[in-house]
Structure 1
Amino acid sequence: MDIETLVQRNKDDLAVLEQCLGYRFTDLRLLQKALIHSSFAFEQAQIDKNNEILEFLGDAVLDLVIGHTLCKRFPEMREGELTRLRSSLVNETHLATMARNLKLGDFLCLGKGEDASNGRNKSSILSCAYEAVIGAILEDSDYPTVAVIVNKFFVPDMAGKKEELLMADAKSRLQEALQEKFNEAPSYRIDEEEGPSHQKIFTVSVLFREEALGSGTGSSKKEAEQRAAATTLDSLDDVIGKFSS
């Protein structure tokens, strides 16, 4: 079955997907090709007529658009932090979530075996298909157009992902800052444990030169330490000033 036949057969479904994407294709064959998994192409004896090249293109587009947007929105972040933040937005899990939000699995062309094994809900297949759709939009239009569409879907998650990253990385950032300034690292002290063994709440303090700098609570020691470090980072300038005098 060739692409033109698939487009005619799936014309109504493709129109629904276009509406979800907020983009109307000049060449619907590109959108259709983005939805063809290799298992379907193999069964149709058209092994090269799948979405893998568009997936490759979409992967590059997402890295560039999201990387550029992050640099503009968060100019205070360092290169390593920006890299980790971009990775949290374009990894398989998050891309599969974006695909599920579009119900992209409903539109995929899968081989019979892949379809029978719940392929429409596999994160690996969904994330690749999402990248392929982005690649198809670029092929059908131009970079400014695809950048607008990518940002429409990804910008709402950027601030939340940034906070998750900074919270998860708070201990490392605090240690780097104190070691750079004083050549010493902070330590952590468990101040309190509350609740039953399966629902404990820990309160932890950050110590530097035996003085408490900040505290945090969490359902694990690690989480409490990260929160304590994050609290300390909020007043880092005051901390550095205090120990520098």
Structure 2
Amino acid sequence: MELLRKKMIEEVEDKIGVAFENKNLLDVALTHSSYTNHKKNVKYNERLEFLGDAVLELSISQFLFKKYPSKTEGELTKIRALIVCENSLHSVAQKWQLGEHINMGKGEELTGGRTRVSILSDCVEAIIAAVYLEKGFEEAKNFVIRILDENIIKAVRNEIILDYKTKLQEKLQKNGEVNISYDLIGYDGPPHRRKFFMQVFVNDKTFGKGEGYSKKEAEQNAAKEALCMIGGE
């Protein structure tokens, strides 16, 4: 590992509060697939995202199950969904200023990859997986609860607002009417787990992209990214 990259990894360790013996593991967690366009035969974080998603969901499920014995299955499911969602993880990534530490291709960077909601939230999941592989489940669970502590409290209190579309509309229309539209630009995955990709246009100009496992979620994430771009989130 290059000296400059090693120093950057150590900065991330300080931000997340975890020291790694295997720093290459954290480096992979911080490497986007687009980086392979720049450097060949480089490991990137998609497999870690897959594992981190599972560790995240189990950690939050176990915590909520033990912490709130009087809540029903439906209530726990709703609370968990607010905590483990893309927007929640994105808020963690923003606190860590994670975008500036990610290895990514020049093309992705030039199109706003360092602030893209999906890339940053996926990176947090990859870091969770890296902690799990380095430290084991108990420490990974404690890590998850620590980094999402504020989000957990807000979710339990029903204080998390996911209506970024309304927030974007209000922000942009303060100085008069604007035309805001959302277009489906693609989807992938099997029918039972299809991921949708949406793009938000403001007066026919692209302002943000988002993805999600429903068109509505993808639209909300596109609106959230647009808010980040204009400094309104």
Larger radius of gyration: 1
Match of 1:161 among 147, 155, 159: 155
Contact 2:82–2:160 (8 Å) recurs in 1: no
Q: Within 5 Å, give how 1:125-204 maps onto structure 2.
A: 125-164=119-158
Aligned structure 1 segments of 4 or more residues deviating by more than 6 angstroms = 165-168
Distance change (3 Å), C-alpha of 1:166 and 1:30: closer
Aligned partner letter, 2:149: V
Let me know the Cα RMSD of the aligned residues: 2.0
Q: Is 1:104 the equivalent of 2:98?
A: yes
Partner of 1:193: none
Partner of 1:91: 85
Q: How far off is 1:159 after superposition?
A: 2.5
Q: Percent identity?
A: 34
Distance change (3 Å), C-alpha of 1:131 and 1:167: closer
Partner of 1:24: 19
When structure 1 is superposed on structure 2, of 73-82 and 124-133 the one drifting more is 73-82
Q: How far off is 1:42 after superposition?
A: 3.2
What CA distance in whole angstroms lies between the structure 2 residues aligned with 1:100 and 1:69?
A: 24
Partner of 2:45: 51
Structure 1: gaps of 5 or more residues: 169-245
Q: How far off is 1:165 after superposition?
A: 7.1
Q: How far off is 1:45 after superposition?
A: 2.3
> What's the TM-score, normalizing by structure 1?
0.62
Structure 2: gaps of 5 or more residues: 163-233
Contact 1:85–1:165 (8 Å) recurs in 2: no
Secondary structure at 1:164's aligned position in 2?
coil
What CA distance in whole angstroms lies between the structure 1 residues aligned with 2:124 and 2:26?
A: 11
Between the two proteins, the alignment pairs up a number of residues equal to: 162
Q: Which has the higher helix share?
A: 1
> What's the TM-score, normalizing by structure 2?
0.66
Q: How far off is 1:167 after superposition?
A: 11
Contact 2:51–2:126 (8 Å) recurs in 1: yes
